[in-house]
Amino acid sequence: MSYQASNFDVIVIGAGHAGCEAALAAARMGCKTLLLTLSLDTIAYMPCNPSIGGPAKGHVVRELDALGGEMGKNIDKTHIQMRMLNTGKGPAVYALRAQADKVLYQREMKKAIEEEPNLTLHQNMVEKLLMEDGSCKGVITRTGAEYHAKTVVLTTGTYLRGKIIIGDLQYESGPNNQQPSINLAHHLQELGFEMVRFKTGTPPRINSRTIDTSKMEIQPGDTEPRAFSFETKAYIMDQLPCWLTYTNEKTHQYIQDNLHRAPMYSGQIEGRGPRYCPSIEDKIVRFADKNRHQIFIEPEGRETLEMYVQGLSTSLPEDVQQDILRTIDGLEKAEMVRTGYAIEYDAIVPTQLWPSLETKLVPGLFTAGQINGTSGYEEAAAQGIMAGINAARKVQGKEPVVLNRSDAYIGVLIDDLVTKGTNEPYRLLTSRAEYRLLLRHDNADLRLTDKGYEIGLIKEDRYQRFVAKRNAIKTEIERLRKTKLTPNAEVQTKLAELGTPDINNVTELANLIKRPELTYQEIMKLSPAPVELSDEVMEQVEIQLKYEGYIQKSLLQVDKMKRMEEKRIPHWVDYTKISGLSSESREKLQQVMPVSLGQASRISGVNPADISILMIYIEQGGRTA
Amino acid sequence: MENDTIAAIATAMGESSIAIIRVSGQEALTLVDHIYQGKNKLIEATSHTVQYGHIVHPSTNEKVDEVLVTVMMAPRTFTRENVVEISCHGGLIAVEQTLELLLSTGVRLAEPGEFTKRAFLNGRIDLSQAEAVIDLIRAKTDKAAKVAIRQSEGKLSTHIRSLRSEIVETLAHLAVNVDYPEYDADVLTGQFVVERCKSMQTDLERLLQTARQGKILREGIATAIIGRPNVGKSSLMNALTQENKAIVTDIPGTTRDVIEEYVNVRGIPLKLLDTAGIRETEDIVEQIGVKRSEKALQSADLVLFMINHAESLQKEDLFLLEKIKAYPSLIIINKTDLPQQIDYEVVQAKSGNKKMIPLSVKTENGLDQLEEAIKDMFFAGNIDVNDQTYVSNARHIQLLEQAKASITEVISGVEQGIPLDMAEIDMKNAWQSLGEVIGEAVAEDLIDQIFSQFCLGK
Ligand SMILES: Cc1cc2nc3c(=O)[nH]c(=O)nc-3n(C[C@H](O)[C@H](O)[C@H](O)COP(=O)(O)OP(=O)(O)OC[C@H]3O[C@@H](n4cnc5c(N)ncnc54)[C@H](O)[C@@H]3O)c2cc1C
Ligand SMILES: Nc1nc2c(ncn2[C@@H]2O[C@H](COP(=O)(O)OP(=O)(O)OP(=O)(O)O)[C@@H](O)[C@H]2O)c(=O)[nH]1
Ligand SMILES: [Mg+2]
């Protein structure tokens, strides 16, 4: 029996990383929001790595923060260690990564949700969407509650028709033995969504009491204070280390001998797994000449002895897993407390989405997270906030917010998904971004705070702090451009002291700083700033001036792309009526329904001639209309 | 993309010895001025007038061609943009050089049909013609694609593929260092990258040189030498190229595979294809050769059909005569130093009145007439080579130049201490320019490479 439950503006299904951000964003934008999830004990649960950030992913967390998201703040409060990676490389690829206390992370996120005024949290399983005239107008739960809403955000992760696989054991399940979502998966199919079957996996966990860290390399956190959020001021300095060990010939031999028991190779797995997360059996087969693989041992939290064994993701049978562990240095006596597994699940083919993350098929329905074919907490959260924002804006009658590829990694991620689709679980990599130098970790606030403020997720006081920072950067850069050194004896001596060659002409400080051997701090010795500047401001001044040439080069490319991006494709365009298109590109264009010529040009198989033809067709229609 | 200045050869090559290069866009006048010397600068010229002057190399000041330039200012032009038309007189090579110089000033090579497209988008052509514009773009693109496919099978693309795979390996390595900082792959050093780039720079320079001499790049008119075994095809090839590349023997069936060579015959670039003599044969290797010859025939712009002066017309000759009817072709009657056995009138009749050229490769008697005949055919417009071939040469050169410039920037950047992941921007650009030469997709390659080259995971 079903009953009429309350009405909302926005309903979010699933309190994973995507759902939490979506619900918080919608509520904070003033929408009456409901968050439904299978279990209140697994809010923002991390089924795999106890870690957030890293290259590209860490950038996304900072972007989320600049837009007013929660992930950055939450991990800042709950990590056991943080490290800046790639510090030996250029600033564009510096990346922050945190090891999380998983349980604490969940608890803090749950609290943030509970405390949010416009947000109602409820434990329940959604089985169906309420449809009215082809649009989504709410949900029906297993308990029969009919909730009405103006828009719905679906973020059910790896739960749809989830199936766990361990050796020859298979059973229907969500991650970590959560209940799977079966009916909802069938319902989506009935609505006409094209689905794919993907696969991912997780390694076994072990008890830290049973490992010998003296045989491993220690991996401590940074001693400098680090944070994801631009707002965090309280740093956690008491950190726990991770440990590094390696597989060896024995491990590899053992796996080889047991390959016949691996579901991967006996054809029991139909889902498509990600190449960037191969299981250990996959690594041994595909890279047979590598005689060892790294294994990182990472604590799952402060209040537990459970350790995550990074590098050993597997779906081999339980007994084999236990034996593999024991071949590894330092793990000879390791007790396995959780068995590794692979999980198969349904995902939506993401080219069925508009760049706003609304589905083309069902107006009012937005999807975000792993259900869209991605993998990763950060990727999920990024889509979550965008879907939440756009679901709220739709309720408010506003145009969707879409980030460009030159605005943010979030823009790259979503554009890739909706334009190209994906044939494996999609992970962000810095190499997916064509304007990597512009999308730095350090300037996420400069790129996105304005947007966050406009959207309404960045509050006035924070915005004012941001504007002050931006002005300070600008003023200092102008000062360095105006301040010039004359080549006299005094100046040359000072330069020599800084270990840099003489100058031959009158030289702006802004140019001098481009010398690789000079830092901003050293420039300050030649001519100190009139006011005290924060570390972040100094960092920006240095990066923006030092790499000016390369930044300019990237900006030029962005400019070119922008013009195509701004050419919108009107709704009346009917690809079947355009005679000159090749049949391949017609099919692709019909499927993707790009919103701009820029997006159209990124669809594989659509060539410049097709774009020209499309332009002419649009122009023709425009004039007859 | 829409506001930049574009150029292309406007007259079909071969129709006359004058070729017109059309330039359109806001910057058309200023850009052409970079490579033009006359009494006045073009920007100072009155609209819709013709100027006399020279195209000169902007850095060496060397004269490339004597030209008449028509200056037409927006909006009273075909595209409603500023338009410059350069009439070149110095033949094909001069046209190509002029186009190449233009491209080096920042003019972009027009996409197929782009002038008409601009005319349409700027309201110059009325709506009823939209379909025609679409058809034109489609047709031109298909033609260009055909040229591209032909080129992608050639030597140039082999070179470029290997350069690209070298770059993509380096890129993948850099990417892994960046995206997986803890992964135990060697960290690429600046020194290593510089060394690699320097060797690529040399390769690119070599490619460019050959491109300019028109050897590898200049695709030329695909000219197939066809005929029965032992009539002297390979000998002719060697005579025209002045090399002894093709093996010549008195054993019929010597040539077993198609041999390509590039030559310049009186200013006209030819891609000569020496083929296996066509006859029915039991020999498997020879059979394959014959198949390939037939393929060469199909893709030929011009056929040089050879028969033996000193033998009577054979069954195979007749069969081949029938086959080549559909192609622009010349009938070469070789071995005129030997006593005549062949009946010229029959040949003439069976060939459908094609031009016959008696010659002897051995004594070189008649070779001049052959060269002259090829030239005449070309300028009479009888050989259907489209301007795409020439245009694509200029385009290749432009792209190769870009690739080289990018590689040079990688080197100078790294040597100045720029972080590798930043210099990578330039390396990616080089990779993309090279990809465009051979028309290869770029997007997913790198990601694929990363995961096949390195064992990553959790
Ligand atoms: C075994 C495993 C291994 C993984 N390995 C990696 C990895 O190595 N690297 C990596 O980057 N990522 C990995 N991931 C992926 C990562 O965990 C996810 O990408 C991320 O958690 C997805 O976030 P999400 O919000 O989309 O979904 P989830 O975090 O899965 O959240 C889904 C939420 O929806 C709720 N829900 C589901 N169905 C319903 C319903 N019908 N009604 C109401 N609520 C519902 C669930 O209770 C849950 O709260 C792995 C995931 C798993 C399961
Ligand atoms: N007398 C005379 N002999 C010639 C002439 N041209 C070629 N030959 C000879 O004819 C023979 C065959 O020449 P090739 O050039 O190998 O003939 P081909 O047509 O390439 O033969 P296949 O490769 O077998 O199909 C050689 O012995 C040449 O030296 C010519 O003009 N006069
Ligand atoms: Mg031969």
Please compute the mean of the pLDDT values over residues A584-598 and round it to a whole number.
93
Please judge whether A516 and B138 are an interchain contact, meaning their C-beta atoms are less than 8 angstroms apart.
no
Q: Touching check for A89 and chain B: CB below 8 Å?
A: yes
The DSSP-derived string for B83-138 is EEEEEE-SHHHHHHHHHHHHHHTTPEEPPTTHHHHHHHHTT-S-GGGHHHHHHHHH
The pLDDT-based confidence of A617 (bands split at 50, 70, 90) is: confident
Confidence check: pLDDT of A576 > 60 = yes
Confidence check: pLDDT of B185 > 80 = no
Q: CB atoms < 10 A from the CB of B40, how many?
A: 13
Residue B384's pLDDT is what? 56
Amino acid at A151: T
What's the Cα-to-Cα distance from B367 to each of A311, B236, B239, rounded to whole Å? 72, 9, 9
Residue B300's pLDDT is what? 83
Please judge whether A564 and B418 are an interchain contact, meaning their C-beta atoms are less than 8 angstroms apart.
no
Residue B295's pLDDT is what? 80
Confidence check: pLDDT of B214 > 60 = no
| Measured distance CA(A519)–CA(A536) in Å, rounded | 14
Determine how β-strand A341-348 pairs with β-strand A336-338. Answer: unpaired
Q: Does ligand 2 have an atom closer than 6 angstroms to the CB of B392?
A: no
CB-nearest to A431 from B120, B138, B175 is B175
What's the Cα-to-Cα distance from B152 to each of B160, B161, B217, B269, rounded to whole Å? 10, 10, 11, 18
| Measured distance CA(B223)–CA(B374) in Å, rounded | 10
Q: Touching check for A552 and chain B: CB below 8 Å?
A: no
The pLDDT-based confidence of B201 (bands split at 50, 70, 90) is: very high
The pLDDT-based confidence of B90 (bands split at 50, 70, 90) is: low
Residues 6+ apart with CB under 8 A from B392: B144, B147, B148, B151, B219
Say how far residue B425 (Cα) sits from the centre of its chain: 29
Work out the mean pLDDT of chain A and round it to a whole number: 94
Give the least confident one: A599-613, B176-190, B201-215: B201-215
The residue of chain B nearest to residue A93, with distances taken between CA atoms, is: B178
Query: What are the backbone angles phi and psi of residue A368, rounded to the nearest 5°?
Result: -155, 150
Confidence check: pLDDT of B143 > 70 = no
Phi-psi region of A199 (alpha: psi -120 to 50; beta: other; left: phi over 0): beta
The pLDDT-based confidence of B1 (bands split at 50, 70, 90) is: very low
Q: Does ligand 2 have an atom closer than 6 angstroms to the CB of B256?
A: no
Residues 6+ apart with CB under 8 A from A389: A25, A26, A29, A67, A401, A455, A457
Of A164, A138, A160, the C-alpha closest to A373 is A160
Would you state the structure tokens that stand for residue B235, as one six-digit string? 């000998």
Confidence check: pLDDT of B281 > 80 = no
Would you state the structure tokens that stand for residue A208, as one six-digit string? 């830290």
Highest-pLDDT range among A376-385, A483-492, B125-134, B267-276: A376-385
Residue B50's pLDDT is what? 93
A71-101 pLDDT, tens digit per residue, is 999 999 999 999 999 988 888 899 999 999 9
Determine how β-strand B259-265 pairs with β-strand B108-109. Answer: unpaired
Confidence check: pLDDT of A165 > 80 = yes
Helix (H, G, I), strand (E, B) or coil at A401: coil
Number of helices (H), then strands (E), in chain A: 21, 22
Asked if A193 and A352 count as a contact pair (C-beta separation under 8 A), the reply is yes
End-to-end C-alpha distance for chain B, whole angstroms: 43
Of B258, B182, B451, the C-alpha closest to A244 is B182
Residue A418's pLDDT is what? 97
Residue B267's pLDDT is what? 64
Please compute the mean of the pLDDT values over residues A267-274 and round it to a whole number.
70
Please judge whether A287 and B420 are an interchain contact, meaning their C-beta atoms are less than 8 angstroms apart.
no
Question: Of B225, B235, B290, B308, which is best to mutate to test ligand 2, by the most ligand atoms within 8 angstroms of its C-beta?
Answer: B235
Query: In which residue are the tokens 């080089």 written?
Result: B430
The pLDDT-based confidence of A625 (bands split at 50, 70, 90) is: very low
Please judge whether A296 and B134 are an interchain contact, meaning their C-beta atoms are less than 8 angstroms apart.
no
Confidence check: pLDDT of A217 > 70 = yes
| Measured distance CA(A368)–CA(A350) in Å, rounded | 10
Outline where A240-376 has alpha helix (H).
Answer: 249-257, 263-266, 280-286, 318-326
Residue B114's pLDDT is what? 85
The pLDDT-based confidence of B432 (bands split at 50, 70, 90) is: confident
| Measured distance CA(A340)–CA(A204) in Å, rounded | 4
CB-nearest to A431 from B120, B134, B179 is B179
Residue B2's pLDDT is what? 61
Determine how β-strand A145-154 pairs with β-strand B83-88. Answer: unpaired
Would you state the structure tokens that stand for residue B122, as one six-digit string? 């700027």
Give the least confident one: B93-102, B114-123, B286-295, B333-342: B286-295
Confidence check: pLDDT of A400 > 90 = yes
Of A376, A355, A381, A419, the C-alpha closest to A158 is A376
Confidence check: pLDDT of B164 > 50 = yes
- Report B:330-349 residues touching A (Cβ under 8 A): none
The residue of chain A nearest to residue B120, with distances taken between CA atoms, is: A616
pTM (predicted TM-score): 0.81
The pLDDT-based confidence of B379 (bands split at 50, 70, 90) is: low
Q: Which residues of A touch B441 (CB under 8 A)?
A: 604
Ligand 1 mean position, distance from CA A371 (Å): 8
For chain A, give the longest Cα–Cα distance. 91
Highest-pLDDT range among A35-44, A548-557, B63-72, B212-221: A35-44
Instruction: Report the percent of chain A where pLDDT is more than 70.
Output: 98
A128-156 pLDDT, tens digit per residue, is 999 999 999 999 999 999 999 999 999 99
Confidence check: pLDDT of B440 > 70 = no
The pLDDT-based confidence of B150 (bands split at 50, 70, 90) is: low
The pLDDT-based confidence of A166 (bands split at 50, 70, 90) is: very high
| Measured distance CA(A221)–CA(A299) in Å, rounded | 13
Determine how β-strand A135-141 pairs with β-strand A126-132. Answer: antiparallel
Is pLDDT larger for residue A263 or for residue B57? B57
